[in-house]
Homo-oligomer: A and B are copies of this chain.
């Protein structure tokens, strides 16, 4: 590495960028103690940008904690950005590339109706990626208001082509590649298949190339992270978002083969994991022609957080059975108090720094009697720590024993243990259906789509997602059935089976495509004029045993007409509508003769009918 002397760099040729990532605005915003933490840290980041008088602020994704930030969160975010980034200061850096290609609009500092002093560039992360109607991200809102220049938004997830933001200041030329979050499996496959392209400007110009991405960097299972070696070697710096532990060091470097990786880490702890207890930073990057200097900037407004791992069997707690529970508690109280002391050492006198510390003891216990009520324990520290209700996490020591034999330190083992134990709901769902006998498995709905929906529901608060997923399934199956002209129920069932297999084979993005068009398809596919309104439609795994998911419940007269297959006659069960109670009112009985395909299609159509109608019937009461 070549030593650089920034004092000899001419300011007119030096690009200065303040880098931060994973700001998670709105994290725990309703918590009376911690609610402001994310905003305080963001404000500090921007204040550093002003202080260092940078040319740009570069964010590595997850500016927001939620895809649909609350009004209060959007308000505060806007307030902070307007406070620091709007103003008369002229911008010294020139944009050379096609702004509409980069940002879908003009860069904010060239917008004639806005005065920008510190332009922010940001990709999206997994927390603030586009959701719902129109695939609008919270960053899109900041973009259209001119608060942020949102780049690296891909439009084709089957072939990613990154067009860099090209900037120039004096003799320094900067190419900024942005790759907003994609599912890690997806992106790693795209890399394998050579389907990630990065457009290169004229190479003779000695561009300094930076890639910003937001993906797993740590190994979280096969294909579930991005290996650095797949990234193209023409890059000079990689800004790696998503990983919350801050890994940045003072660094001087120069353009050369290979690249350096900067992992800024989060600016607020969004979990009580060991990595979040490390000191948090933003980073000042200075580039002069082909040389650069990286300077970590420690954040002073981060709430103190002490993480400790304790193994009860290694502590001298005595062997008596009597009162061992109390003994353990007394010991742990002592440890918490020590941690609070330690946390107080982290208070740096900044008036904006939250004072009450986060304390997490990760405790490994050996025997049942050593476990106890952790919430009650936490009440001892009300008003002394910011997280009294979850100070302790208690784990059986057995689990970690095996790993210790692999010569991991306790801390390492702890982290590894958590990672190994962690299962997400998606995996649970998959394994639940995998272990079911074949005839109990779903025959219409794709488990993968359901799992994706659940992820979007929990992670992004996307409460429309289930409706869209069902609409998508419905449209697809209805279409397939109508095209098939199946005459018998068996043929219709067969068509459904094929349809389901196609769905399962399609990867997540194919399903996304389906979702995007679902609304229109279901509107434009008049299936049958005799579609019955179902009183209560329940999706069952196979027989009428236990409802898996209730789809509709609308108090309407009439009979749902499920297309019933021969009971037990097939190895594969089918999803189906539960027949409602016979209605006491006279109902229209004479229905025109319909093919099996039409009947099945009708049933599918009815699945979301009730819901849509209910929505419409609400209309009358609103004003």
Contact with B along A121-136 (1 / 0, CB 8 A): 0000010000111101
| A76→B132 CA distance, assembly (Å) | 14
A46-76 interface with B by 8 A CB criterion = 67-68, 70-72, 74-76
A406-426 interface with B by 8 A CB criterion = 418, 422, 424
A35-B133, A70-B133, A71-B131 known; A393+B620 contact, CB < 8 A = yes
How many whole Å from A361's CB to the nearest CB in chain B?
14
How many whole Å from A224's CB to the nearest CB in chain B?
12
Q: Are B519 and A32 in contact (CB under 8 A)?
A: yes
A113-B86, A383-B524, A588-B372 known; A617+B71 contact, CB < 8 A = no
Q: Are A242 and B623 in contact (CB under 8 A)?
A: yes
Count of chain copies: 2
Q: Are B271 and A620 in contact (CB under 8 A)?
A: yes
Q: Which residue from chain B places its CB closest to the CB of A65 in the assembled complex? A: B622
Q: CB of A188 within 8 A of chain B?
A: no
Q: CB of A532 within 8 A of chain B?
A: yes
Q: Which of A114, A387, A459 has the most CB of B within 10 A?
A: A114
A133-B29, A588-B372 known; A144+B79 contact, CB < 8 A = yes
Q: Are A82 and B144 in contact (CB under 8 A)?
A: yes
| A213→B612 CA distance, assembly (Å) | 34
Chain B residues near A35 (CB, 8 Å)? 133
Q: CB of A369 within 8 A of chain B?
A: yes
Q: Which of B68, B145, B375, B621 contacts A609 (CB 8 A)?
A: B375
A425-477 interface with B by 8 A CB criterion = 459, 464, 467
Q: Are A375 and B556 in contact (CB under 8 A)?
A: yes
Chain B residues near A588 (CB, 8 Å)? 325, 372-373, 376
| A472→B49 CA distance, assembly (Å) | 41
| A86→B533 CA distance, assembly (Å) | 49
| A78→B131 CA distance, assembly (Å) | 18
Q: Are A134 and B612 in contact (CB under 8 A)?
A: no
Q: CB of A25 within 8 A of chain B?
A: no
Q: Which residue from chain B places its CB closest to the CB of A619 in the assembled complex? A: B271
Contact with B along A214-225 (1 / 0, CB 8 A): 000000000000
Q: CB of A273 within 8 A of chain B?
A: yes
Contact with B along A525-558 (1 / 0, CB 8 A): 0101111110000000000000000000000111
A577-620 interface with B by 8 A CB criterion = 585-588, 609, 612-613, 615-617, 619-620
| A418→B387 CA distance, assembly (Å) | 52
| A28→B467 CA distance, assembly (Å) | 14
Closest 8 A/B residue pairs (Cβ): A113-B115, A72-B134, A72-B136, A86-B113, A390-B616, A32-B519, A71-B136, A382-B526
What are 25 A-B pairs at a CB distance below 8 A? A28-B615, A33-B523, A68-B71, A70-B132, A71-B140, A72-B132, A76-B134, A78-B141, A82-B113, A82-B144, A88-B112, A88-B113, A113-B114, A271-B621, A375-B533, A376-B529, A376-B530, A376-B533, A379-B526, A379-B530, A383-B526, A389-B612, A389-B613, A390-B616, A390-B619
A residues with CB within 8 A of B:
28-33, 35, 67-68, 70-72, 74-76, 78-79, 82, 86-88, 112-116, 126, 131-134, 136-138, 140-141, 144-147, 242, 244, 270-273, 325, 368-369, 371-373, 375-376, 379-380, 382-383, 387, 389-390, 393, 418, 422, 424, 459, 464, 467, 519-520, 522-524, 526, 528-533, 556-558, 585-588, 609, 612-613, 615-617, 619-623
Given contacts A88-B112, A114-B114, 20 further A-B contacts (CB under 8 A): A32-B519, A32-B520, A32-B522, A70-B133, A71-B131, A72-B132, A75-B141, A78-B144, A82-B113, A82-B145, A88-B113, A113-B114, A126-B623, A325-B586, A376-B531, A379-B529, A382-B526, A389-B609, A389-B612, A393-B620
